[in-house]
Structure 1
Amino acid sequence: MNFRDIIKQRRTIRKFKQTPIDKEILKELVDCARLAPCASNKQPLEFIVVDEKEICDKIFENTGWAGYIAPKGTPKEGERPTAYIVILVNKSRATKWIGHDVGAAFENIVLAGWELGIGSCIIGSVKKDNVKKILNVPDDYEVDTIVALGYKGHDSTVVDNDETVKYYMDEKGDFHVPKRPLEKVIHFDRF
């Protein structure tokens, strides 16, 4: 699969097989994240890999899932992520562009993961103070984003649709994600 195919096929996954992810793969995903571009090359991001079931369960309890179709879009027991990568910001190294840094890092994680057969869900709905305590994160760091990981337990497909942004789940449990058609978002030379 070439890189453009990975970009076009990658979708958010919200239900996972309960197969553990090898630690070397998780390490590789963090390596891809650390190599992402960052403002002024300040390198403010650090990462906590969580794959111990007890800690994964605690992280799961402090995250929100599939807002448009909650609670049926929330993974049930036996469908939950088998690992997480928690993206931390070292406050002393952060710039005003930190959101760009985080976005580039998590995009590298999800694309590299997809190429390796790993599904992911970028979670912004996080009880960050609770996660910080669970993971013993020092005060000079903040929890920014969590990437949930696992081998995909459902399909997710793009539907060209400019009428709604709300994704939905069909009767088989597969997701359908509206994306604005290219013709609606591309402009050349002027608006």
Structure 2
Amino acid sequence: MNAEPNDASANFAHAVAALVGRPVGSGKASVAPDPVNQPMIRHWAAAFEDANPVYTDPEFAAGTRFGGIVAPPLMLQTWTMATPMITGIAERGGAPVPSEGISPMTVFDEAGFVGTLASNSEFEIMRYLRIGETISATTIIESVSEQKKTRIGPGHFVTWVTTYVDDSGETVGLQRFRILKFKPEGVPS
């Protein structure tokens, strides 16, 4: 195996470095299609068997430090999710909605890192959301690791951070989502 860098690997390294700080998609904020609301909170709490009454019992919630119903913190991502479009999903590579702009992941795909494995997701919650609030989100590429050797093939961990804000622009939470973009073992480059 030749460890000497070549033009292709130098170009790839430069393209990967240029991703850091770059917006994902169009770069415009994704605005929640609906404000935070009781029916969605109720369905979420039921689906996850989360019986915390601060999510579903107005009388109980009124007597807490929140003064009313609040959304479960990990619902944060849910509010800005677009309604999936099934038509054309195969042509979009499995993406539930058409994306605006060029995907930063194209850099990896073109270099043979065509495999994608979700690694982990971390949330940082600044405060609970209240019924009636509308939030929006922007996402940037936060970091890209050096190439790692993994059991499924060589790859790079790509982390993007989504910042969620309320109507006044106050940050209410962050989500770091990490994937591994890899070259599947046994697949020619």
Fold equivalence (TM over 0.5): no
Q: Whose relative contact order is higher, 1 or 2, with alpha carbons under 8 Å and at least 6 apart?
A: 1
TM-score normalized with structure 1 length:
0.28
